[in-house]
């Protein structure tokens, strides 16, 4: 019986379905990533891995896994996996695209609203017993409606965010390598240079995938181009941002605030400079974390594994 190793506890119904046909082993500490030495031990006789973004699947892993046929990553992204090493080893890599688009777009727009209207700051204000009276400018924030949103990365999630922005009567600018004619028609979106997007947007939203081209594409120069009244939102990849440059832009008042679901190195420590700033909303990489979407992602990853191990074509292979 072929063995599947799952690097984090997932839904029991998904595990039970896999157990009907395969030997399934699961890392049993739900809130911690599997240690590298444990993973190296488990892959020796594994035919499939169901992995998380927090798992680094590199050359060392592939060298230790002579029977490995497929790595199913529980995410859209796969920069935690060495694709060249996988290809040389003849291992298929899959991800979970599309199924998390709307959920991630919901979360992204929640970040826009939270930082613009100071929601988390206001919630803490009440919890700390500071609310003693009402005043006209008590925790006054910034409007979202009729403002300009600039979306960096106009893939499926970017377009879903643009759809939500139109409900708030926002003007939509976007920057990506290739124009999206259909999106321009649907959302009345305008394709612009990165420089123009940064200068004109009230909310700059980073949704670009991580590549060598996008690595730290938001740096000191880019933050300096933004309006002092503008907010930066990152729900894409932390590595697309020069975090020190972001910290300096916030400290000097170069931008008004930031809302972040992702960071350069994760998880961040409690003494991280960004966490001491009132104008920063920081959450722990939960873009697609709704119960419904997580279950759908788990089922897709499971289906990919089952297909490959039974000699069939993967549903969502990373090319």
> What number is the average pLDDT over the span 119-129?
97
- CA distances from residue 88 to 69, 85, 278 in whole angstroms, order as listed: 12, 5, 48
Q: What are the structure tokens assigned to 40, written together? A: 């190296």
> What number is the average pLDDT over the span 270-285?
97
Please tell me the pTM assigned to this model: 0.93
Q: How many CA atoms lie within 13 A of 80 on its CB side?
A: 21
Q: What is the mean pLDDT of the chain?
A: 97
> Would you say residue 171 has pLDDT above 90?
yes
> Would you say residue 31 has pLDDT above 80?
no
Which residues form the catalytic set? Answer: 237, 266, 285
Helices (H), 7-155: 12-19, 36-42, 59-63, 83-89, 101-116, 119-127
Question: CATH top-level class for 101-282?
Answer: alpha beta
- Residue 86 pLDDT grade (very low, low, confident, very high; cuts 50, 70, 90): very high
Torsion of CA 305, 310, 314, 317, to 10 degrees: 60
Q: Which residue has the higher pLDDT, 32 or 135?
A: 135
Query: What's the CATH number of domain 3-98+291-309, 3.30.1360.10, 3.40.50.720, 3.40.1030.10, 3.40.50.2300?
Result: 3.40.50.720
Range(s) of the chain covered by CATH 3.40.50.720: 3-98+291-309, 101-282
> Would you say residue 69 has pLDDT above 80?
yes
- Residue 30 pLDDT grade (very low, low, confident, very high; cuts 50, 70, 90): confident
């Amino acid at each position: 019986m072929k063995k599947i190793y799952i690097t984090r506890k997932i839904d029991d119904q998904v595990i039970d379905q896999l157990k009907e046909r395969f030997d399934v082993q699961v890392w049993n500490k739900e809130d911690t990533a599997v240690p590298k030495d444990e993973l190296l031990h488990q892959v020796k006789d594994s035919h499939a891995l169901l992995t998380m973004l927090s798992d680094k699947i590199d050359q060392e892993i592939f060298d230790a896994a002579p029977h490995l046929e497929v790595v199913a990553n529980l995410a859209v992204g796969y920069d935690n996996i060495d694709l060249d090493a996988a290809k040389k080893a003849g291992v298929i890599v899959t991800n979970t695209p599309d199924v998390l688009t709307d959920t991630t777009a919901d979360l992204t727009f929640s970040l826009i609203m939270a930082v613009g209207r100071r929601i988390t700051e206001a919630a803490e204000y009440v919890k700390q017993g500071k609310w003693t009276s009402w005043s006209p400018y008590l925790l006054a924030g910034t409007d979202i409606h009729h403002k300009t949103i600039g979306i960096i990365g106009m893939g499926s999630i970017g377009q879903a965010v643009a759809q939500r922005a139109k409900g708030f009567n926002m003007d939509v600018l976007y920057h990506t390598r290739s124009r999206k004619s259909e999106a321009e028609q649907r959302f009345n979106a305008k394709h612009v240079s990165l420089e123009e997007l940064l200068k004109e947007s009230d909310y700059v939203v980073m949704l670009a995938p991580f590549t060598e081209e996008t690595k730290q594409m938001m740096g000191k120069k880019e933050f300096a181009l933004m309006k002092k009244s503008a907010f930066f939102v990152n729900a894409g990849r932390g590595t697309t941002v020069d975090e020190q440059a972001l910290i300096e832009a916030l400290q000097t008042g170069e931008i008004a605030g930031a809302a972040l679901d992702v960071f350069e190195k994760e998880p961040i420590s409690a003494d991280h400079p960004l966490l001491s700033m009132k104008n920063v909303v920081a959450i722990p990489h939960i873009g697609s974390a709704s119960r419904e979407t997580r279950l759908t992602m788990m089922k897709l990853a499971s289906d990919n594994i089952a297909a490959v191990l039974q000699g069939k074509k993967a549903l969502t292979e990373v090319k």
